[in-house]
Amino acid sequence: MLWMMDFTPQLRHDSDIPLYRQIFLHISAQIRSGELPSGERLPATRELAGLLGLNRATISAAYEMLETEGLIAGHVGRGSFVTGTGARSPAAGLNWSSLLDRPDPAAGRDTLPRQTISFATSRPSRDLFPLDEFRATCAAVLERADLADILQLGSPGGYEPLRRYLLDDARRQGLAGPNDDVLITNGCQQALDLIGRVLLSPGDTVAVEDPIYPGLKNLLADLGAQLAGIPVSAEGLEVPALARILQRERPRLLVVTPNFQNPTGATLPLAARHALLDAARAARVPVVENDPYVDLRYEGQSIAPLKALDRGDGTVLLRSFSKISFPGLRVGWVVGPKPLVDRLRQAKEAADLHSDQLSQAVLLEFAESGRLAAHLARMLEAGRDRLHATLAGCRDLLPPGARWTTPEGGMNLWLRLPEPLDAAALLGRAQKEGVSFLPARYFAVSRQDPGGLRLSFAGLSPPEIRAGLSILARIVAAELGAALRDDEPVPAMV
Amino acid sequence: MLWMMDFTPQLRHDSDIPLYRQIFLHISAQIRSGELPSGERLPATRELAGLLGLNRATISAAYEMLETEGLIAGHVGRGSFVTGTGARSPAAGLNWSSLLDRPDPAAGRDTLPRQTISFATSRPSRDLFPLDEFRATCAAVLERADLADILQLGSPGGYEPLRRYLLDDARRQGLAGPNDDVLITNGCQQALDLIGRVLLSPGDTVAVEDPIYPGLKNLLADLGAQLAGIPVSAEGLEVPALARILQRERPRLLVVTPNFQNPTGATLPLAARHALLDAARAARVPVVENDPYVDLRYEGQSIAPLKALDRGDGTVLLRSFSKISFPGLRVGWVVGPKPLVDRLRQAKEAADLHSDQLSQAVLLEFAESGRLAAHLARMLEAGRDRLHATLAGCRDLLPPGARWTTPEGGMNLWLRLPEPLDAAALLGRAQKEGVSFLPARYFAVSRQDPGGLRLSFAGLSPPEIRAGLSILARIVAAELGAALRDDEPVPAMV
C-alpha cells in the first residue's frame, strides 16, 4: 500500500471537486494506469479515513463509485480488491465518468431532507389548488378558436396573446417603457439561467444575497460564475456592503429578490431600493430583480419594484405564475430592455425552442377570467394565517435567545437558534421526531450562520405549523440545556 | 471621412462576428470615443459598400443598428449624421450593447423567409391535429386522482408516471438496459442543449451531419463548440468521412439523425449504423442519436436504432412527442447511460427545475389511451400522400438535371437544382411568385451546395405541394434557360 504515500498531497480541500470524488479520481487513475494491479487490496474505509484525517463516509462514497465503475469489488469481511481497469468488455466502450469528469458543478449540491411536518419546501400548499376552477379554465382553453395554434410549434418569445397581456400589464404598472419587451420563460429559474448564459462568462463574479436559495447557487455554479455574497438583514440586502462589493469585486451582475426574499423573508425598504439602484448604476452593473413573491403580500404596503424606480434601463424584472397558481405549470416572464430581451429570446430558442403553449394558454385564461385574482385572494388569506401561526409559534414556544425575521408575505422566514446551537446538528434529531427544515448551510454563500434555518410555512396548515414548532421548540430547549450544562465549548460549526 | 482609411483592415471575413456587426462596432466605437464627432456625415450606404467591396444591405444593417442605438440619424436625401454618444440621458445608465458584446453567437443566425406555399417549415400540418381527441385527452387528465400532484412542483427527471411509461417502453423495445435511465426534456432541442452543457467546453469539436438543421448549429454555436461536418448522401452520413474526422479532429461528441434526417430526409442503412458505432467506439466518442422522426416511416422497413445496436454504452437516444403529436407541447426524452442521465438531470434542474407537468400528463394520457397510435396512423397516411405528391411533382415537373433524395418518411427531402443554378439566388423570385423554401446555406456546416434546398412537405396538402412545385419548376426552367443562354459564367455562390 505504498501508493498511499503520495496520496495525501493530492487532496485539495479548497477545490470545487468534493473530496470523495478526488479520492475516486486518484484511485481510478492508479487502477487504469496499472499502478494498482488487479487483485490488490485497498485499505479498509476506516483505515484510509484515519490516515487521511477524513470522515469514513467520504471514503465509502469514493469506494462506491469505484465499485459502480467496475474497478473494485468489495467482499464482506475481506475488504475491497482491484478487479480490473473498468472496461466491462471490449464492446463496453465509453467511460462516462471520465467524459463527465470536469469539476462537477453539482457535486456540492445539497439534497433535501425527508419530511414529516416539513418546513423545508418553499412552495404553495397543494390543498389550496382550486381544482374545479383549473378544470373550468382548461375547458375554456379547449374551446378557443386558436386551439390548433396553441398546439402548433410556437414562437421563442412566448404564446403571443399571453406575451401581449403581460406586456400591457407591465406597461400599466409602470414596469415597462417603450424600450422594454417581454419574454416568456419556464419560470424564473430559466429566466435566471438564460440571463446568465447571455451575460456571463466562466469566472465572472455575480453579486447575490447571502443567504440565497440553493437553486440560484447551483445555476450560477453550473455557469462557472463566482459568487460574491451580500449580507441580508431583516431589512433585506445591506446596501453599504453591496456598494463595497461592487467596488471591490467588480461583479458583472447583481441578482436581488427585493420582496420576501428566499430564504430570509426579508423585504427591501424603499430607501434601500433607491440606494441599491444608485450603487448599481454608478458601478454600471445590471440588476436582475427576481420577484416571484411580489403578489404574496399578506399585510403592510407594497413597495415600488426596482424596475419601476430605475430611471435608467439597468434593471431586468423576473416574475412568475408558479408561486401564485400552479408550480407544475412552468411559466414565468422577463420584463427588460429590448437589446437584452432580444438576446434572451435567441438563447431561449437555442435552449428549448419555446415554452409549453398549453400551460401558457391555460394561465392566460386563468388570469383573464378573473380566477387568478380570486385564487390569489384565497391564497393571501391562507398565507396570512400561516404566517401568523408561524410568528405566534416562534413567540410562544421558542426559548429565549431565539431570533427570527417577521416577513409581511412570501413563504419563508429565517430563524436563528439561541447560541451555541447549530441548526444542522439539530436536524437529525428533529427529523427523527417528525419535523424537518433546511439549515443555514444550504443557503450560505460565504457567511456561516450555524444557528440559522429556514422555516417555509406556506405549505402547512396553522395546526401543522403549531405542532411542528412545538416539537422544534422542545428539541431546541433540550439541546440548549445540554449545551449550557456542558463544560466543553461547543464548536461554532460542525 | 478620413476615418475610412483605417476601416478596411479591421474587417475580418473569417470572424464569427458578422460583417455588418463588425462595421457597427467599429463606427460606434469611433462615435463613443469622439473620433467621429456629433454632426459628422457618414458616407452613403452605396458609397461605403463600394469602398469596402461589400453588399449594400450589409452597410444598411450596420447603419440601422447605429440608428437604433441613437448614435446616428438618417435624413432622406441628405444621408446619415452622427447625433451623439448614445447615452439617452444621464440616468440612462447601462449600455446593454456593450454588456452583450461578446461575439454574438446568434448574429449569423438566419431568419426564415415569409411564406405563401411554404416548403420552409419542418413541422406537422395543423389541419391534422385531432382537436376533439385532444379535448377528450385533457378531460381525462382533469379527472385524474393525482391532478393536484400534476399542478404541484415536480421532479427534474420528469412526471413520474410518464417517465416510467417511457422507460418501460424503451426496455420492451430493447432501447434501455439495466444501466440506462430516462430523463424528460422540453423536446429534443433541450436534450441536445443539456447534453452540450454537461459534455462540452467552449472550443470542443462536435461532429455533425453536413447539411444539418439550423437549430442544432445555433445551439452548438451558443455553447462555443466547433462543428466538424460529415457529408450526408442519400444514404445518410458517410461513415468513411466520419472515421477520418474522428481521427483527425478528435471531436468530443457525434450527433447523428439516423432516420429521415433534417434537412436531407436521408436514412442510415443498417450496415452503416454498425460501421458508425464501430468507428465511434474505436474513437471513444459518445453518439447522440437524435431520433424525433422515427415513427414517421411511411413505407419500407424500420431499421434498428443505434441505441439498440450499440453493444457498449456509448449511445444516448433522443426522442420526442413533438413531431408525432402537438409541437406546441414541449415534451421529449433522453434514454441513456445512468451516469450521463444523472448529470443531465442536475443540469435540467438548474436550467428550469422540470418540464411542464400538464403537458406531460396530457401526452401520457394521449399515448396510454391509444389515441396517439390512432393519430399516428392518420399521420402516416397523410404523410405518405404528401411524400408521394412531392416525389411525383419533382419527377413530373422539374427540368432535367434536377436531383432529389427519396426519403421513406419524415418531413423533408433535399432537392438539388440543375447546374449552374443557385437556390438562394432563386428564392427571391420564388417568394414573389408565392413559393418559399430554405436554400442550402441555412443548413451548411462547411460544405457549400449552392444548388441545394430543403423541401419540407409535411405541412402541405398534396394539391398545395403540386401547385408549389409547378411554380418552382417554372422558375427553375426559366432561370436555367437564362443561365445557359448567358455567356457570363454564373458565380457558384452568392
Q: What number is the ipTM of this complex? A: 0.78
Q: Measuring CA to CA, how many Å separate A84 from each of A30, A61, B313, B466?
A: 11, 19, 18, 63
Burial class (CB in 10 A: 0-12, 13-18, 19+), A128: middle
Contacts of A275 (CB under 8 A, 6+ apart): A239
pLDDT higher than threshold 70 for residue A150: yes
pLDDT at A14: 60
pLDDT at A56: 75
pLDDT at B493: 46
Q: What dotted CATH number matches B117-124+373-485?
A: 3.90.1150.10
Q: What is the DSSP letter of B288?
A: E
Tens-digit pLDDT profile for residues B290-310: 999 999 999 999 999 999 999
Which pTM was predicted? 0.79
pLDDT at B335: 98
Tens-digit pLDDT profile for residues A307-363: 999 988 999 999 999 999 999 999 999 999 999 999 999 999 999 999 999 999 999
A278 has a chain B CB within 8 A of its CB: no
**Residues A153, B352: C-beta atoms closer than 8 Å:** no
pLDDT at B110: 41
Cis peptide before A214 (omega within 30 of 0): no
pLDDT at A10: 58
Which chain B positions have a beta carbon within 8 Å of A100's beta carbon? 198-199, 339-340, 343
Which chain A positions have a beta carbon within 8 Å of B132's beta carbon? none
CA closest to A215 among chain B residues: B350
Q: Which CATH architecture best describes the domain A2-99?
A: Orthogonal Bundle (1.10)
Average pLDDT over residues A148-157: 96
pLDDT at A75: 62
CA closest to B97 among chain A residues: A339
Q: How far apart are the first and last CA of chain B?
A: 30
Contact (Cβ atoms closer than 8 angstroms) between residue A295 and residue A324: yes
Residues 76-105 of A with CB under 8 A from B: 89, 91-97, 99-100, 102, 104-105
Sign of CA dihedral B487, B488, B492, B494: negative
How far is it, in rounded angstroms, from Cα B48 to Cα B483?
Answer: 30
pLDDT at A220: 96
Amino acid at B159: Y
Q: Which CATH architecture best describes the domain B129-369?
A: 3-Layer(aba) Sandwich (3.40)
- Which DSSP helix (H) or strand (E) runs through A331? none
CA closest to A218 among chain B residues: B350
pLDDT at B89: 39
Contact (Cβ atoms closer than 8 angstroms) between residue A12 and residue A26: no
Cis peptide before A263 (omega within 30 of 0): yes
Tens-digit pLDDT profile for residues B198-214: 999 989 999 999 999 99
pLDDT band at residue A58 using 50, 70 and 90 as cut-offs: confident
| Residue appearing with cell numbers 408561486 | A323
Tell me whether domains A2-99 and A117-124+373-485 share a fold: no
pLDDT band at residue A181 using 50, 70 and 90 as cut-offs: very high
How far is it, in rounded angstroms, from Cα B52 to Cα B13?
Answer: 12
Task: Compute the CA torsion angle B322, B328, B333, B334 (nearest 10 deg).
Answer: 90
SS (H, E, C) B402-429: CEECCCCECCEEEEECCCCCCHHHHHHH
Contact (Cβ atoms closer than 8 angstroms) between residue B291 and residue B148: no
Beta strands A412-416 and A403-404 are: antiparallel
Tens-digit pLDDT profile for residues B389-438: 999 999 999 999 999 999 999 999 999 999 999 999 999 999 999 999 99
The 10 Å CB-count burial string (b at 16+, else e) for B189-211 is bbbbbbbbbbbbeeebbbbbbbb
Residues 180-209 of B with CB under 8 A from A: 185-187, 189-190, 193, 197-199, 201
How far is it, in rounded angstroms, from Cα A119 to Cα A445?
Answer: 21
pLDDT band at residue B108 using 50, 70 and 90 as cut-offs: very low
Burial class (CB in 10 A: 0-12, 13-18, 19+), B127: exposed
Residues 306-365 of A with CB under 8 A from B: 311-314, 322, 326-331, 337, 339-340, 343, 346-347, 349-359, 362
What residue ranges do the domains of chain A occupy?
A: 2-99, 117-124+373-485, 129-369
pLDDT higher than threshold 50 for residue A12: yes
| Residue appearing with cell numbers 402541405 | B460
Contact (Cβ atoms closer than 8 angstroms) between residue A65 and residue A47: no
pLDDT at A142: 97
The lowest-confidence range among A14-23, A265-274, B114-123 is A14-23
Q: Going along A165-262, which residue ranges are E strands?
A: 180-185, 205-210, 226-233, 236-237, 253-256
| A349 or A89, which is more confident | A349
- What whole-number percentage of chain A has pLDDT above 90? 71
pLDDT higher than threshold 50 for residue B126: yes
Q: Which three cell numbers stand for residue B145?
A: 386522482
Tens-digit pLDDT profile for residues A223-247: 999 999 999 998 999 999 999 999 9
Average pLDDT over residues A17-26: 74
